[in-house]
Amino acid sequence: MGMNVLIVDDSATVRAVLEKTLKLAEIPITSVHHATNGAEALEVLQAEQIDIVFADLNMPVMNGLQMIMKLYEQGRLKTLPVIVVSTEGGRQRVDRLLELGIAGYVRKPFHPEDVRGAVNQISEEHHVNVA
Amino acid sequence: MSLDKSHTLPEVFCLVVEELAFMFGEPVTPDELPDAVDDATLASITFHGPMTGELIMIGPRGLAFMMAANILGLDDVTDVDQAIDAMGEALNVCCGQVLTAAFGDELVFDLTPPQVGPAQHDQWQNLKTDANAFAFMVDDMPIMLRLQVDQGEEACTTS
């Protein structure tokens, strides 16, 4: 059984490429949901059973950091793996996100093996089913 | 804290277009570029943090369509929204990478979502004569970039 994935990015191009990358990386997927900002993502997370989230930081309406703070306050980061996929490279910000409990960080531009590596890294910690 | 005035932006931009869009970028001098381009399109993104500033990219509209097709792995893209989105994302990635390359990973910047639209008729020409702009040919298409840093320990306008 595959994962239910949520991809959060205001760029439709990135969402499409990330979805394609997940398939190329042979990560088993049951469904892929899209959100264009953090607020939309929180709505999807309320309505759907999501196993893993890939989220950008730089987005309008509600950015990725704000979304992650909400998930942290709700205690959801303990059980929901969130992988940040962003162009930002500030070490302090990445460290802060890791302290909050994100499961991984992939920097843009990314290769399929970067995404696969991040998913593999968290699969045991979060007991996500990855073939 | 200063920017490398000659290498950072060209190196980062060429690397990003190659890795993100599988396109080959080559720095050229502005006088090697045409005096005008078809349907010039401008992408801009601003950043805020220890320094604030803006990165802009201008090129022919066809560039945005080619970027979209290459990033998405499609033979052709005809959807304008897809093209605009791809050009904005390319600039977004370039901006994040160039800030780290220029200032290191100790500083934190917030980037605004990129804005993409038609360039004003004189913007291409103005940038061609701007000493702080960098010119490129990317897969035989002319492009110019300009990074402006407005505030900080050492305000500057360069790359």
Distance (Å, rounded) from C-alpha A63 to C-alpha A88? 13
Count of other CB atoms within 10 angstroms of residue B76:
8
Q: What pLDDT does B155 receive? A: 45
* B31 has a pLDDT exceeding 90: yes
One-letter amino acid of A87: T
How far is residue A15 from each of residues A10, B13, B124, measured CA to CA in Å?
Answer: 8, 22, 31
C-alpha torsion sign, points A106, A107, A109, A111: negative
Contacts of B30 (CB under 8 A, 6+ apart): B127, B128, B129, B133, B135, B144
Distance (Å, rounded) from C-alpha B156 to C-alpha A21? 39
Decide if B156 is inside a domain. Answer: no
Of B73, B82, B108, the CB nearest to A92: B108
C-alpha torsion sign, points A50, A51, A52, A57: positive
- The domain in which residue B115 lies consists of 8-151
The residue to which tokens 């302290």 are assigned: A99
> What's the pLDDT tens digit per position in A78-91?
999 999 999 988 89
Decide if B107 is inside a domain. Answer: yes
> What's the pLDDT tens digit per position in A115-128?
888 888 877 665 55
Decide if B105 is inside a domain. Answer: yes
DSSP of B56-94: EEEE-HHHHHHHHHHHHT-S----HHHHHHHHHHHHHHH
* B157 has a pLDDT exceeding 80: no
- Minimal Cα distance from B69: which residue of A? A13
Decide if B44 is inside a domain. Answer: yes
Of A89, A91, A109, the CB nearest to B19: A109
pTM of the model: 0.90
Q: Are A67 and A96 in contact (CB under 8 A)?
A: no
Q: Are B23 and B66 in contact (CB under 8 A)?
A: yes
Number of domains in chain B: 1
Chain B: give the shortest CA distance to residue A57, in Å: 9
Helices (H), A64-130: 64-73, 91-100, 112-125
Q: What pLDDT does B3 receive? A: 56
Percent of residues, chain A, with pLDDT higher than 70 = 94
Count of other CB atoms within 10 angstroms of residue B113:
17
Which ipTM was obtained for this model? 0.87
* B158 has a pLDDT exceeding 70: no
Angle between helices B80-103 and B8-21 (to 10 degrees): 140
Decide if A122 is inside a domain. Answer: no
**Best residue in A34, A88, A96 to probe B by mutation, most B CBs within 10 Å?**
A88
Decide if A125 is inside a domain. Answer: no
Decide if B108 is inside a domain. Answer: yes
| CATH number where A38 lies | 3.40.50.2300
Lowest mean pLDDT among A2-6, A9-13, A17-21, B4-8: B4-8
Decide if A51 is inside a domain. Answer: yes
- Minimal Cα distance from A64: which residue of B? B110
Q: Are B143 and B151 in contact (CB under 8 A)?
A: no
Confidence at B99, pLDDT banded by 50, 70, 90: very high
Number of domains in chain A: 1
Q: What pLDDT does A90 receive? A: 86
Lowest mean pLDDT among B6-10, B33-37, B62-66, B150-154: B150-154
- The domain in which residue A32 lies consists of 3-111
| CATH number where B110 lies | 3.40.1550.10
Chain A: give the shortest CA distance to residue B20, in Å: 6
Decide if B136 is inside a domain. Answer: yes
